[in-house]
Structure formats: structure tokens, C-alpha cells
Amino acid sequence: MSEPARGRGWLAFWSRPHKVYVDDRHRRVHYARLADDVLSILPGPGARVLDFGCGEALEAERIAARCARLHLCEAAEPVRSELARRFAGHPKIVVLDPDGLARLPDGSLDLVVVSSVLQYLSVEELRALLRLWRAKLAPSGLLVLADVLPPESSALADALALLRLAAREGFLLAALAGLASLAFGDYRRLRNELGLTRWASDALLAELAEAGLEGRKRATNLGFNPARTTFLARPRPSRPEPVGGEGPAAIGEERPEHDEPGRHELGR
């Protein structure tokens, strides 16, 4: 299966009703934690923020109250339509489709948050988005890639993380029933058929560098799953071309090798 077909398959899944959250408590706890994480890294009250792949964005108003503007970008049309209905007329929240994001002025965002999205993107899709996010970030802006699946991640690790969360937050019985349902549902079928994109740290850092971003792996993941990873990146300052060819600046500048096909980790 081609990489674009994989991306379209996952987008179709998120565009129809699904049971990724075992119950309403799970769904609300998930979005509350995501909002807490975003607020913990918010540059300040004047920040212009993008939540890319925002889903239902249940805590969007709490984030918007602490920043200048919150852009919610969602590719799944039914989800985006509901967001537009909920936030119609909100003075700080703007709902965008991917084309609307592309039309934002370059350099107009201070924080871009992309949480639990990369596993559903093909490599080529991610490369295009990294270039887009880089263009939209202000020179001092921050890109956050959270909940990234490393090569060693597994469905078992995800299940254990869910059970730990459920035991702590009071929905353990629902989690046990939900895991049983997921084992025979669309998500498990698509995970087997389409796979998920996993990223080794050096490979993702190389992709960030190729897109003009200086990245690093965060010590801990944002969100509830400690088996996953988070990466932080800022635009790399442009350097003037040396006069007369390869001067000291050009010779001394490290540039990571372009990621070869297959260097990324694709798994299921």
C-alpha cells in the first residue's frame, strides 16, 4: 500500500464515528491533560497558537483564555464542521482546514502543537507539513511534536498506559471493556492493514533539520503515555551565504544527511 493511501485511510477513520475513547470520562480526561500540557509550554498571553489535528478540542476555550489567538486545524470534515459550529463568533478561536492553514501569513504563529498525529501521516506528508509549520512559525516560535511512536512502541504498551490512567481516573471497568471492543474494531483492523508510522529519534531530528528546524527530544512525553516521545523544535536562523563560494561559514556548518528511504521506522 502506498504511503498516501495510508494517510487517506486513517483520515477516513477519524472522519466517521469511532470508539478510540472507552467512555466520556476517558475522552474528557484526555483533552484536559492535553490542555494542561499546552498551557505549561505557552509562551505568554500574547501567543498565537495552532493546535494541528485538534480533534474535538474539548478544552479549547481554556487555552484561548490564556493566549491571544487559538487556531484549531482539523482535516476530518465532520469534526471540523462541529468545531466551527461550537466556536462560531468566538473572539479568539479560529477553525481552519489544511488549506486555511496554508493561507495564514508566514511567521504568524508562536506555538504549533501536534499531538498524537505523526503515527497517522506518511513520511512524505510529514515532510510537507514540517516545511509548512516552519514557514508559519515566528523566528522565536516553538513546534511541539508530542505523543510520537518510537520504533519499540507496541499495542501492549498503549494498553498498559490506558489501564494505568483508567485506574487513576476512575474508569477502569470501562477501559477493560473498551480494550476488548478495540481488539475487534475498526481501529485494530486499520492498525493491522495500514500500519502506524514510528520514528526513531535520530531520523525525526534529521527530518526537522532538513525542514530548517533545530530540534531536540524532550526528557518526558506530553500526555499520559510514557512509552511515547515528544520533540521540541525552533526555526533555524538563516545564515548569509559566504562571499566567494565556500568560506568558513559554509565549511563549518553541519547539515544532517537527508533521510534515506527506509530510514524511518514503519510498523504496526
Task: Please report the pLDDT score of residue 5 as a whole number.
Answer: 58
Give the pLDDT band (50/70/90) at residue 18. confident
Task: Please report the pLDDT score of residue 2 as a whole number.
Answer: 53
State pLDDT tens for residues 104-120: 999 999 999 999 999 99
Which DSSP string corresponds to 52-120? Answer: ET-TT-TTHHHHHTTSSEEEEE---HHHHHHHHHHTTT-SSEEEE-HHHHHHSPTT-EEEEEEES-GGG
Give the pLDDT band (50/70/90) at residue 254. very low
Task: Please report the pLDDT score of residue 255 as a whole number.
Answer: 31
Residue 175 burial (10 A CB sphere; 0-12, 13-18, 19+): buried
Flag whether pLDDT at 74 surpasses 90.
yes
Mean pLDDT of the chain: 85
Average pLDDT over residues 88-102: 97
Flag whether pLDDT at 101 surpasses 60.
yes
Which DSSP string corresponds to 204-251? Answer: HHHHHHHTTEEEEE-SS-SSS-TTSEEEEEEEPPP-PPPTTSS-HHHH
Give the pLDDT band (50/70/90) at residue 266. very low
Ramachandran angles phi, psi of 31, nearest 5°:
-70, -30
Give CA 228 to chain center in angstroms. 12
Give 185's contacts (C-beta < 8 A, 6+ positions apart).
Answer: 19
Q: Give the whole-number percent of the chain exceeding pLDDT 90.
A: 65
Task: Please report the pLDDT score of residue 20 as a whole number.
Answer: 81
Average pLDDT over residues 188-203: 85
In the sheet with 229-235, reading across from the earlier edge strand, the strands are 93-96, 69-73, 48-52, 109-115, 137-148, 229-235, 213-217
Cell numbers at 156, concatenated: 501492549
Domain spans, the chain: 3-267
Residue, of 151 and 260, whose pLDDT is higher: 151
CATH superfamily of 3-267: Vaccinia Virus protein VP39 (3.40.50.150)
| Nearest residue to 77 (alpha-carbon basis) of 136, 14, 122, 24 | 14
Give the pLDDT band (50/70/90) at residue 240. low
Task: Please report the pLDDT score of residue 3 as a whole number.
Answer: 56
66-70, 128-132, 177-181, range with the lowest pLDDT:
177-181
